[in-house]
Structure 1
Amino acid sequence: MFVGGYTGPPCPPNADCVIPKHTTASDGAAYNIDSGTWQPIADAPRPVAAYSSTAVIDDTLYVLTNDHVLAWDAEQDTWTELDPPTKPQGVNLVADTHAGRSRLVLAAGSDENGIRADQVYDPVDDTWSQLPANPLRPSFDRALISTSSGLVLTAKPIGPDGGPEDPALVHAAVLPAGASTWRPVPSSGDQLGGWTWTWTGRRLIDPTPGGADGGQVNNFGRTIPYGGALDPATGEWQSLKDAPREFTGGWAVEALGGRHNAVQGWIYDDGDGGQGSSWTRLAQPDGAPAEPGRAVWVGDVVIVSGGADWGGPDKPAERTPENVWSTGTWAYRAE
C-alpha cells in the first residue's frame, strides 16, 4: 500500500526550493501483486509527507506524519488517529511483534537534545506505557528492532563531554519479552553504521555497503565497515561477506525486507544466516526513471512505485510533474 507524498513542483536533488503549501497528498492505493491491479483506499485524515515512518501490526498500517500518528485498518479501509501522551517528535515507528502481544513503539532517534522515554502503544487495550530505561543512554543513531530474542536497541554512546566515541562504533542491548531490565551486549561491533537494521529471522543485519577510515586527520588505521550483523541471542557481532564498495550498484532502490534487501542499487540476500549470502547488482528496468520511487518488499518481491528523471529540461521553471515524475510500477523477484 502506498499513501500520500509530495505533489508540488519538482525540486532537483541538492537544490534549495521553496515548498508551496498544500502540496502533500492524503490519498492512497493498494497494489495486488497477484493480479497486477491497483485499488484506491480511503483518504488519510491528514496529509502524509513523503518518506514518513511506518510500521505494520497485523492488518493495521501505522504512519507517522508531521508529529501525528495515523492508523489504517486494511479490513475496514478506515483511518483513525492515535493520541500519544507526548508529542512524537524525532521518533520512528517500530512494530514489536515478538513480545507475546504485538505493540507499537515510538522510538527516539537520539538523546542529543535530552533523554526521552520510548513510548509503547498496545492496540488491543488502546493504552500507552514506556519502555524501561536502557543502559546505552545517552546515545545517538538509536534504532529499535523486534527479534525473537526480544527488542534490540542499537546506538552509539555519547561521552561525558557531549561528544561521540572516536570511532563511534555501534553498541547494543536486548530487552527480552516480558522483562523489565535490559541486557547489555558485552562488546561493541566493529561497525560505523547501524542506520538500517532488519531482522532476517536468524540475525540482525545492516546491509549498508562501504565504510570509512577516518581520513587523514583522524585515521582509524583501518577501514571500518558501515554494515554488519548481530546475533542477539549470543551477542556475537559479524561482518557481511563480500560487501561491495558504497555507491557501486545499479538502480538505487532502497527497501529493507528481512532476508532480502535493496540498498544502493544492490539486492542483498542473507541466505541461511549469512551462509550462502550474495550481492546482486540491480539493473534499471526499461522505461523506469533514473531515480526510483518508494519501494516495499512483499515476500521475496520488491515493488517500486514511481520515481523521478532529472535528465529533461535544464531550466527549473520548465520542469513539471509530467516531464519529471513517473507513475509506473515495477516488481523484482529475488532468486
Structure 2
Amino acid sequence: MQHITLIRPDDWHLHLRDGDALSTTVPHTARQFARAIVMPNLTPPVTTVEAALAYRQRILAAVPADLNFEPLTSLYLTPATTRDEVARAAECPHVHAFKLYPAGATTHSEAGVGDLKGIYPVLEAMEHLRVPLLVHGEVTDPGTDIFDRERLFIERELAPMAERFPGLRLVLEHVTTREGIDFVRSRPQLAGTLTAHHLLYNRNALLAGGVRPHYFCLPVLKRETHRQALLEAATSGNPQFFLGTDSAPHAQSRKETACGCAGCYTAHAAMELYAEAFDSVGRLHRLESFASLNGPRFYGLEPNRGTVTLTRQAWTAPETYPLGSESLVPLRAGESIAWKLA
C-alpha cells in the first residue's frame, strides 16, 4: 500500500501548553486532527469551567486561518473539586472530561490527588452525570520501581474504583503495559488511549547506548513484550482503544539537563508515526477505526467530515522547532519518517 485515506482523525490526549508555545503546538495538531482533548495541567491548572473556556479561546486564537480545529477541554481533578463543578462541566458543551493525576506522577501534577478514596463523592457525581474520567495510571510512592508503577496502580487503585463505580466512563490514558491492556479489555465501560511512541519504541530507545532524553516520558517506555501487547491492541480493531498522542512539548533546555522533564513531542508527525506502527504489522487497514472512529464513539460524538491522506514517502524531521523564545526537539529529530501527510 502506497497511499491511505482516512476520515479525518482526532487526538484524545494532547498537551498544547499555553502562551507563546501555542503558536507552534496548535498548528502542528490542527493540520492533521479535527479535534483534540487538551490536557489541563497548566500552571496554574485548569480546574473550573470558566478557566477551561478562557483556555479554549487562547487555543482557538492560535489556529491558522486555513484550518478547522476544535479544542475539547478537560478539567484538572483536585481534592477541592466539587460535585457542583462536575454538574457545570456536564452542562458545558466545550468541557468533555476530568483528568486525574496522582499527586507527583508527572509534569505539573503537584495539584493532583493523593488519596483517591477522598474523591469518591465526586466520582459518584461523574458516574451519575456520565462525565468521563481520564486517568494517569501510576502509583507515586518512591519505593516503587518506575517500571511497575502502572501495574501496581491498576491493582491497588483502578480495579477497586472500576468495581465501585461500574457506570463510570473511565479512560486509562497512555497505556504502557500488558496488564493495562488486559484491564481495559476486562470491562466494557473502559477505554484506553495509546501513543505512537509507546507503539514504536521500548525502553532500549531511552537507555541503550546512552541516555536519550527526548525518549523520556511518563509512563516510561517499557519492555518489548509490553510494546508488542500495545501494538496488538491498537491494531486489533477493538473499539475500546483509540488514538491519544500524549504529545508533550518541553524546551530543549529543560529536556537536555541534569533532571530533564518527561514528555515526547510527536504532534509534528503524529499520524505519520502511527502509520509506521500499523504498517509494521501489516494492519494499515485498521488505522482508520483506531484514529477516526473509536474515540468519537466513546465520547458520544459524530465522526469528522473530510479526510486526510498519508503517502509512503520518506522525509526527515527537523532538528528543532521554535517554542516561544526557546527550541523544541521533536521525536525522531533529524531522522527519517517513512510516511508523509499529504
User: Which structure: larger Rg?
Assistant: 1
Higher relative contact order (CA 8 A, sep 6+): 2
Query: Larger % of helix: which?
Result: 2
Report the TM-score when normalising by structure 1: 0.29
Report the TM-score when normalising by structure 2: 0.29
Query: Larger % of strand: which?
Result: 1
